[in-house]
Amino acid sequence: MIVFPAIDLRQGRCVRLRQGDPTAVTVFSADPVAMARHWVAQGAEWLHVVNLDGALGEVRALAPLPDGEPDLSGLPRNWQCLYAIRQAVEVPIQFGGGLRSLDDIALALRLGATRVILGTVAVQQPELVTAAVERFGPERIVVGIDAREGRVAIHGWRELSSLTVIDLALRLAAMGVRRVVFTDIARDGMLTGVNVAATAALARLSGLRVIASGGVAGPEDILALRAEEAAGIEGVILGQALYTGALALPTALALARGL
């Protein structure tokens, strides 16, 4: 099972939100590159980087970059951070937040993302997901399913759609998606324990590989998720627990590997 340390970017800083609330923000570092190096030095084999400004709707159309060394001067700060993190570490990067077009996806991959996470567009523009899988391949496209009381949330978790988690997951599987990140919003940033039952049920019912997110509080959550690995749980994203010291990354990695 893969452990993904989270680096959530807000105006170029590494932050954590509580239940996705932009007013409940804690800044952990003004240097996301240093944070990336820190987690890799502790053994991280993947990084989970989120452009919160984009996820919260603070987006603008981004032009494709010409060939050659990219000129980052016209890009938003968080996109520049993605490129800087890519240059600083060699582990693969999962990147999401506010991706709204095939050009956005191509740009994220060009700047160093190994794969991208699509969120709101999967609900509002499902044809974009299909096109993305066809153009970039299923291993480079992940969809984030963010849920509140069983329904899918969109626009930075501020609106609830009419779709249930399972309905969306089955639609995604039919589109050729292989992997999703599942977040129980009520638990995110709260250190109250990950929703293992819902995560495992999603994996079993959809046949998708599922990365758990939201609420991890300590070693017991890693053990509980690993016990359901056969259901299709592929990994877990760690945020608040790492940043507050509730769970050390080397400990999480060892437990995830069954050591």
What amino acid positions are annotated as catalytic residues?
8, 146
Q: Which structure tokens are listed for 121?
A: 């567009």
Who contacts 201 (Cβ-Cβ below 8 Å, separation ≥6)?
none
- The dihedrals phi and psi of 213, each to the nearest 5 degrees, come to -150, 145
- CA–CA distances in Å: residue 138 to residues 115, 170, 237: 9, 15, 20
Q: What is the DSSP letter of 145?
A: E
Q: Which structure tokens are listed for 239?
A: 């945020």
What is Dmax (Cα atoms) for the chain?
48
165-204 per-residue burial string, b: 16 or more CB within 10 A, e: under 16: beebbebbeebebbbbbbbbbebbbebebbbbebbbbbbe
